[in-house]
Amino acid sequence: GAGVSQSPSNKVTEKGKDVELRCDPISGHTALYWYRQSLGQGLEFLIYFQGNSAPDKSGLPSDRFSAERTGGSVSTLTIQRTQQEDSAVYLCASSLVTGAEAFFGQGTRLTVV
Amino acid sequence: GDSVTQMEGPVTLSEEAFLTINCTYTATGYPSLFWYVQYPGEGLQLLLKATKADDKGSNKGFEATYRKETTSFHLEKGSVQVSDSAVYFCALGNGAGSYQLTFGKGTKLSVIP
């Protein structure tokens, strides 16, 4: 596609429910990143994919968070048993190669009530 | 590991004032450096970049020079406009080091007429 596409753009969920956030990167981009931006905060790195593998999962805040990428393209970030502190904007970005400029999606605003 | 430090905000300037937002970094190898901008209600956009020492990135009247000797990448604009009001993020991409894109905490700029 022309840009990085994320869905849904907004998600309101009840505490304890599972959510899935989707990212469709720019076609041909091998690197894919997930970040979290909490209200008034900077960007918190969550996970990075090179192709389908995730060499760096160090940023995932707990074992309730997981992510996968299939076919070297679409990625899904899953949060199990959501908590109120998970409320944030989840940003996905892709780049042609590792370390190159990243292009960001519009983000998914997650609100846990 | 890699890190980026940028000046704390918020910064408030009058229209046509000179802008400097300081950014320094710590990294192994030879990283690429970026400035991203987030306008109110919008996603992150790449503003400018520099991929090697002494490179100057420029866009929309903004400039930043990659200074390896001072490990800096300060953002400047000679005459700001109200439409420049946004949050500015300095970032580092290091394919040879940590492959995540490392961001500063962001600096909020408000330009008043």
Measured between CA atoms, how close is B49 to chain A, in angstroms?
8
**Residue ranges of chain B whose pLDDT lies below 50:** 97
- Best of A23, A90, A104 to substitute, by most chain B Cβ atoms within 10 angstroms, is A104
Dihedral sign computed on CA atoms, order A110, A79, A106, B87: positive
**What local confidence, expressed as pLDDT, does residue B96 receive?**
57
Structure confidence at residue A59 (pLDDT): 87
CB–CB of A29/A96 below 8 Å? yes
Residue A63 phi, psi dihedral angles, 5° rounding: -75, 0
Can you tell me the distance from the alpha carbon of A101 to that of A92, in angstroms, rounded to the nearest whole number? 13
At residue B39, the 3 state secondary structure works out as coil
B32 touching A (Cβ < 8 Å): yes
Residue in chain B nearest A90 by alpha carbon: B43
Tokens of B61: 């009247």
Shortest Cα distance, chain B CAs vs residue A37, angstroms: 10
3-class SS letters over B7-24: CCCCEEEECCCCEEECEE
User: Residue A23: which residues within 8 A CB-CB, separation 6 or more?
Assistant: A4, A5, A6, A32, A34, A74, A75, A76, A77, A92, A94, A105
**B15 CA to chain A: closest CA distance, Å?**
24
Residue A88 has a pLDDT of 95
Is residue B80 within 8 A of residue B12, CB to CB? The reply is no
Is the CB of B99 less than 8 angstroms away from the CB of A45?
A: no
Q: Which of residues 91-110 of A touch B (CB under 8 A)?
A: 91, 93, 95, 97-107
Q: State residue A56's pLDDT score.
A: 77
- Could you tell me which residues come within 8 angstroms of residue B27 by beta carbon, excluding any fewer than 6 positions away? B2, B3, B71, B92, B94, B97, B102
Chain-chain contact of B96 with A106 (C-beta, under 8 angstroms): no
Averaged pLDDT of chain B: 91
Instruction: Mark the ranges of chain A whose per-residue pLDDT is less than 70.
Output: 1, 40, 99
Q: How far is CA A23 from the centre of its chain?
A: 7
The CA distance from A25 to B23, in Å, is 28
